[in-house]
């Protein structure tokens, strides 16, 4: 009459047949952790009935689902924080660079910009043409700069001597601006690569943990399905 032998369930304390009980040694560790939180006196040498075991299985699945929802919410919050928060990005160095320029540096940039335009070429060509016409055809008796236009050559040499260092100063500042922009782009690229790497790690961790939990849930569901025929009988 071994089938009629009864044993106590550690949870409900009721005497039940061995067919209605599960040995504590056969229960998954994750389920045991849930049981011990509610019943610290749990012993691996005893038994637990199917009803109580299924209750703890369902509680464990609910805890897994809550953790899953929490992790998704945490990941979503991280993504929102990364989109909204912009303090980590380097400031616009062009604005700061322009604010620190002196009046002379602003003036040299304006001169360099004008000297490299078609407007300057047109104006300069017009002045040269007018100079030659005045000293060749109009002021025939007393030209102020007769041919070969020595005074004009002096003005052109002085203009070239002044214009060259002004343009060089402007180019040097542009090179400095380009270098600062390159450094900023490098920092942004490094930061972006780091953020993408961190995001990949979080997603990989989430997928791995989700897969493990899904397997645990499937195992528990299979065990619950195995208990259903016994209940229907």
pLDDT of residue 159: 86
pLDDT in tens, 85-102: 545 555 666 666 677 777
pLDDT in tens, 202-221: 778 777 777 777 777 777 76
pTM for the full predicted model: 0.45
Tens digit of each residue's pLDDT, the chain (233 residues): 445 678 888 888 888 887 888 888 888 888 888 888 888 888 888 888 888 888 888 888 888 777 777 777 776 676 666 555 545 555 666 666 677 777 777 788 888 888 888 998 899 899 999 988 888 877 777 788 888 888 889 988 998 888 888 888 888 888 888 888 888 888 888 888 888 888 788 778 777 777 777 777 777 766 666 665 555 44
Residue 47: enclosing H or E segment and its boundaries?
strand 47-49
Contacts of 128 (CB under 8 A, 6+ apart): 152
Q: What CA–CA distance (Å, rounded) separates 141 from 163?
A: 34
Q: What CA–CA distance (Å, rounded) separates 23 from 50?
A: 10
With beta carbons less than 8 A apart as the criterion, state whether 19 and 9 touch: no
pLDDT of residue 122: 92
Contacts of 231 (CB under 8 A, 6+ apart): 50
Phi, psi at 21, each rounded to 5°: -120, 155
pLDDT of residue 126: 93
């Amino acid at each position: 009459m071994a089938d009629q032998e009864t044993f106590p369930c550690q949870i409900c304390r009721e005497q039940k047949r061995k067919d209605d009980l599960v040995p504590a040694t056969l229960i998954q560790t994750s389920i045991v952790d849930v049981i011990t939180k509610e019943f610290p006196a749990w012993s691996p040498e005893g038994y637990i009935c199917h009803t109580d075991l299924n209750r703890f299985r369902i509680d464990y699945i609910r805890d897994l689902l809550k953790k899953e929802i929490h992790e998704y919410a945490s990941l979503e919050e991280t993504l929102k924080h990364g989109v909204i928060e912009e303090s980590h990005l380097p400031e616009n160095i062009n604005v700061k660079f322009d604010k620190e320029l002196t009046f002379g540096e602003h003036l040299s940039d304006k001169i360099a910009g004008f000297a490299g335009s078609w407007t300057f070429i047109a104006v300069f060509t017009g002045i040269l043409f007018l100079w030659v016409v005045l000293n060749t055809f109009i002021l025939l008796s007393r030209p102020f700069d007769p041919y070969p236009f020595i005074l004009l050559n002096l003005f052109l040499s002085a203009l070239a001597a002044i214009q060259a260092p002004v343009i060089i100063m402007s180019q040097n500042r542009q090179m400095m601006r380009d270098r600062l922009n390159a450094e900023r782009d490098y920092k942004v690229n490094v930061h972006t690569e780091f953020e993408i790497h961190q995001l990949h790690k979080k997603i990989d961790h989430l997928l791995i943990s989700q897969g493990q939990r899904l397997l645990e849930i499937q195992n528990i569901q299979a065990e619950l399905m195995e208990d259903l025929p016994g209940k229907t009988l």
